Amino acid sequence: MRVLIAVPPLAGHLNPASALAAELTRRGHQVSWVGSEAVLRPVLGPDAEVHPTGSRVLRDQSGHGAAAVASLWERFLVPYAKFTLPAVRRAVDSARPDLVLADQQMFAGALVAHRAGLPWVGLATTTMELARPFAALPAVEAELARHLDTVRAMAGVTGVDPRFSPLLTLALTSTALSGPARAATPVPPAYVGPLLGARPPLPVPPLPGGVPLVLVSTGTLAGGLAADFTGRMVAALGLLGGRVHGLLVAPPQTVPPGPYVTAAARVPVLELMPRLAAVVTHAGLNTVTEALAHGVPLVVAPIRHDQPVNAAAVVAAGAGVRVSFARAEPARLAAALAAVLDDPAPRAGADRVRESFRAAGGVPAAADLVEVSVQRPSNRQEPLSPGTARP
């Protein structure tokens, strides 16, 4: 089977896709990629078949709640679909895949596959669309529908939602953490848990022994607030007086000096997970599920998009404590961290979610489902004429 994987240039989307790709390759399938070669190549290595889209600067996103979602669509999702459509068409023509695996935020993969009559599988690397957090706000939902009409028109098709495959959408979480999908999907999403696999090696910075280690990571959406949050976390670690040591994922020059802090721009997160006592995070799905897959409790400080959804899910699962990213003072951050370290309940909650991930099956289960989806004769679509709706 020839599989073409379409992913945006974001680590939280590329890492799980690369884990699934490695398993499909191990099973004898031929995997190629379409995306930003500048981002994909360092992760995938020199031998990967990459059909480049070129690169474009991702515009900063802003706001909170519905305003943040509008910013995501207007500044990233819709422009990125327009930018990548020609390259994805070329990739499909060149790779001649039997199946397209399309990240839920790279609409071009799904739209081009649909237009070409190819089966495609969706990869839900966030929970925003699954949770449908604005279902009670019809004006917001109507705006999202207009954006979907725009990207469909770009591709010359109607009658398909590029967020959800009519064959299979892989949700990289579990219902024990995120609950059942609230979105109206063609078929129910398959909850397979996080897709974890080997990653390019990174050095582990020197760290003290004999003291609990806490990872602090704010992701890529923090923007100008990252340094401010980092400063408050350094102060919070100081208030804990050496009870823990913080490993802050940030450029070292942006981190205020502190006796209980190590800073590094990049760290091997999965390698470090077994050593961690807790994780402080912006509540991106990747970091949340990586921590919970190792039974590590969380302090979650969401910023925007699906992060408030994920933070609420962590708290509901009893696996962590939520704080305000923008407003939590050092004393509040220290108290939240002490709570997940001293109270056995958050670690027990994290262990329950870890067991749900194991039951979901992870990478092997996802690969099984991908193989089955393409083997069904009814799954192959006929090519569509521009603007033709599928019955």
249-280 confidence digits (pLDDT tens): 998 998 888 889 999 999 999 999 999 999 99
What band does 223 get if pLDDT is binned at 50, 70 and 90?
low
Chain mean pLDDT for the chain: 90
Average pLDDT over residues 303-329: 94
Share of the chain above pLDDT 70, in %: 92
What band does 387 get if pLDDT is binned at 50, 70 and 90?
very low
Task: Flag whether pLDDT at 32 surpasses 90.
Answer: yes
Structure tokens at 245: 């040591």
Q: 93 to each of 80, 89, 99, 109, 116, how far by Cα in Å?
A: 20, 6, 13, 13, 9
At residue 190, what is the residue type? A
Q: Bridge partners of 276?
A: 213
Structure tokens at 79: 């422009």
The pLDDT assigned to 264 comes to 94
Domains and CATH numbers, the chain: 2-193+361-379 (3.40.50.2000), 213-357 (3.40.50.2000)
Question: How far apart, in whole angstroms, are the C-alpha atoms of residue 5 and residue 21?
Answer: 8
The pLDDT assigned to 9 comes to 92
Q: Bridge partners of 247?
A: 215, 262
Q: 375 to each of 26, 118, 185, 363, 370, how far by Cα in Å?
A: 18, 13, 21, 19, 9
Contact 242, 235 (CB under 8 A): no
Residue 111 sits at φ, ψ, to 5 deg, of -65, -40
The pLDDT assigned to 383 comes to 36
Task: Flag whether pLDDT at 304 surpasses 90.
Answer: no
Q: Bridge partners of 123?
A: 103, 170
Question: How far apart, in whole angstroms, are the C-alpha atoms of residue 303 and residue 326?
Answer: 8
